[in-house]
Amino acid sequence: MKILGKFPSTRLRRVRNSDWIRRLVSENSLSANDLILPIFLREGKNKIEKIKSMPGVNRYSIDRLTNVLDKAEKFKIPMVALFPNTPNKKKNKNGTEALNEDNLVCKGIKTIKKRYKNIGVMTDVALDPYTSHGHDGIVINGKVDNDETLKILKEQAILQATMGSDVIAPSDMMDGRIGLIRKSLDKNDFKETKILSYAVKYASNFYGPFRDAVGTKKKLKGDKKTYQMDVRNYNEALREVGLDIKEGADFIMVKPGMPYLDIINLIKQNFKIPVFSYQVSGEYSMIMNAVKNKNLNENAIYESLICLKRAGSNAIISYFSLDIAKKLSLF
């Protein structure tokens, strides 16, 4: 790019010297429309349970979802994402609870869609909340078997769509699952059900508090490096996204968020498709604890989200969504 102008006739600080001019020439903005609120579900009645590793985040029993959904509706958050904390007694090696039409996610979908007409529901397609070993798929001879896993993921997606899920979000990172799920949805008359592909999900160290929240942290045997992306890789993201778009993905997810701003921008510039980013639990907990201990000003929360927008995110899954939407509503 050719740089125009030179000092002293050109002074870039002129357009920074007052709040009104900074607002007038700002290149990016953040609103509630950009936010997706993740919600953790638990069994029981009248339960709101704090998650120690994620200050300010709770697990909700189905009958207490109104506590958080009423606020989401009030502050105009367009979509929520549901994640279950499945009791250990309902987990097994094949994650068959994922296909139970009375599981936590199915109950959550039906409850929300019955009462909240203007909030979209996104549901996770993966087996890790349901398996006794904590992996996202079927383990055979010590390895996650891609093609056997696809069979149950397809059924899981159809069940969620049948219950009323608006956005099916496969986060499992199995090869070929987007095409299989898209064909199955279309065949079962769910042509309008959208697919958000976790196409670029890295085998990151930032997921720890989430695994605690859904109860898989102590269950996980080994790691997920054989199916999630290598944190060192850049161009591989283009291949993952290109394949998933061809297979029918409507949106693409990059996860985690802030450590992968370069990847968000890479996908946006190359594919011009809606890109979502996930400000994951580790990012949230680091920022939240730093703010709580007064090591960071709370304005760092807004900054962490606007940088995801600047990189190219159309929408952001964040545990800060409710608080930020509330603050934005005051302006």
The catalytic residue positions are 201, 255
DSSP output for 22-79 = HHHH-S----GGGEEEEEEEESSSS-EEE-TTSTT-EEEEGGGHHHHHHHHHHTT--E
Residue type, 141: N
CA distances from 178 to 153, 172, 181, 197, 214 (A): 10, 10, 5, 7, 24
The whole-angstrom separation of Cα 121 and Cα 126 is 16
How far apart (Å, rounded) are the C-alpha atoms in residues 315 and 253?
Answer: 9
Tell me how long the chain is: 331
Query: What is the full DSSP assignment across 255-275?
Result: ESSGGGHHHHHHHHHHH-S-E
Residue 330's φ and ψ, nearest 5 degrees, are: -85, -10
What type of residue sits at position 256?
P
Q: How far apart are CA 82 and CA 100, in angstroms?
A: 16
CA dist., res. 269 & res. 254, Å (int) = 14
